Structure 1
Amino acid sequence: MNTTLIGDQFETKSLEIIKRVIEEEQLGHLGKHLRIYTKKEKGYYSATRQKDIYFDLTIEVWPPGASRYVLIYIIECKNYNKRVPVDDTEEFCYKIQQVSGVNVKGIFISNAPLQQSAFNVADSVGMMVIQGESSDNYKLILHKTDKRLNQERIPFIHTTKDEGLFDDGITLVERLIDKKITKIFEENTNISRVSYNIDKLSKSDIENYSKIELDKINPRILSSFYQLSIEAFTKFLQEKEQIFIIENEESLLGWCDIKNRTIGVNRAIKNTS
């Protein structure tokens, strides 16, 4: 399959993702005030080029009764089998800057994660970043309103297979998390319960088992840093392992019934971070 056709197919998938984002009001605008265009339908004038630039997708915001749009979301769609390089986000920023005279926001959609430097560029300019394969399997990596909120949160720990990239701060946080988890298990130990030998597994055993299972779902999760969606994980458990997820409103947030091959989740935590 040629690269143009692959790109066109991913743009179609990206359009469906954007429609879902709008439907769930994650842009902060009502859908009836938005107009979506593909690059075949509309271009925007660049004084630098002295002609129109055609972006993969654009969204115009038209308030009620307005004679013209007041905001444009310019969308770049990238289909990769590796991490997105910084050149792509920098080039996208440069193109956005050429559309002058209007309020412009950038949205970068990719099926693969961004390199750290590419992520930094997107974050510094307030770009929205979406990673996903379809409208049923996507995640907002950066949101246009996240910057202020992120200052109040514990920094995100990027997982990596290169141990040399871990600094002392991350190592200390990792140890703190381990201690907290161990303490919870100690406080809730009940000798009348069956352990199924889970308590005899070392940390490295658990990591190795996890890697084996992740490779079964999608080898690119570890090799190319692809995300694992809840939908894909649930489907894998049901189809390959005959393990089923149920929801209810019990007091526990989650539990596991090994005998009946069931994992329970409280509805209160559904769709939370």
Structure 2
Amino acid sequence: MVKYSDKYFVFDKDLGRPQLPEETAYAKANSIGRPVVELTEEQRYSFDLRGWLLVENVLSDDEIAVAKEHITRLHRAPDSLSEHQRSSMAGVCEDLIDHPLVVGFMNEFVYHPFTDGSKTPPLGNQSCYGFRMEMSFSQYREAGDGKFGPHNGNGMMRVPGDHHTYHAFPGQVHTCLTRALWELNPVAEGQGGTLFVSGSHKAAFTGPQSLRTIDSPFWESYSCPAGSVLFFTEAVTHSSSVWAMDTPRIAIFNSYNSIGSKWHNWDPHPELLAQMPPMRQTMFRPVYVGGNVIDEASA
């Protein structure tokens, strides 16, 4: 398996010399001590090829049940929750934001361990994540809810500051705004899951007008069991669709970004943030690059 530091093709502030960070720049365990799960070669290739990646059966039955209960309560009886718990990343759902597979994915595709030349250590270590949490929301959709609304695409052609970007070099990829979508109920293909135009994150041409209709053959979707996670770059053309299943769509959309980038005017409730493990809190530190790392000794 190719390790992160074996394939790096990014310049630091050193006259164009490639940056070769140590493995210690990448978290090996998450904030509650669970070992990080690295992507397989097939998963990495599939995401780069299509702009989205589905990983099935990530959560146990017990994890699914308690997460569904929280999201259902959040939508149907929000007043039964304290103010800081009225969030798709509160309660039992908090552990999903730095799930071991999520950390492995973000280490691969979102995190770049810049060091500000030789002045500072890399942006991540064993107590500090090298990526940030952008925002989180949930969906509870009954049959007939939702609509078709295609957007984004052409991520390789977007300018800095857009954040809906996708850049690729030999053996290395960087995506800015990126989602981890947790499906907490089963999804059948063509019945209301998220739609994608695979490969459009790298498209050089404007999408054809036919993409404005859901019947276009370019649109792809998926089926999956409950407890699956779907990663996708916001640079890929995608859309919601009308939910058509008998059971509701119960889903969590967690968004991530690089340390120096912020698209949404969003921050977690201060009380929710304060009760998180210290390492998890590092995903919500101020947004800048140079020296923006929590030292392991002080974490």
Larger fraction in helix = 1
TM-score range, shorter chain: under 0.3
Highest Rg: 1 or 2?
1
- Which one scores higher on RCO, CA 8 angstroms, separation ≥ 6? 2
TM-score normalized by the length of structure 2: 0.24
TM-score normalized by the length of structure 1: 0.26
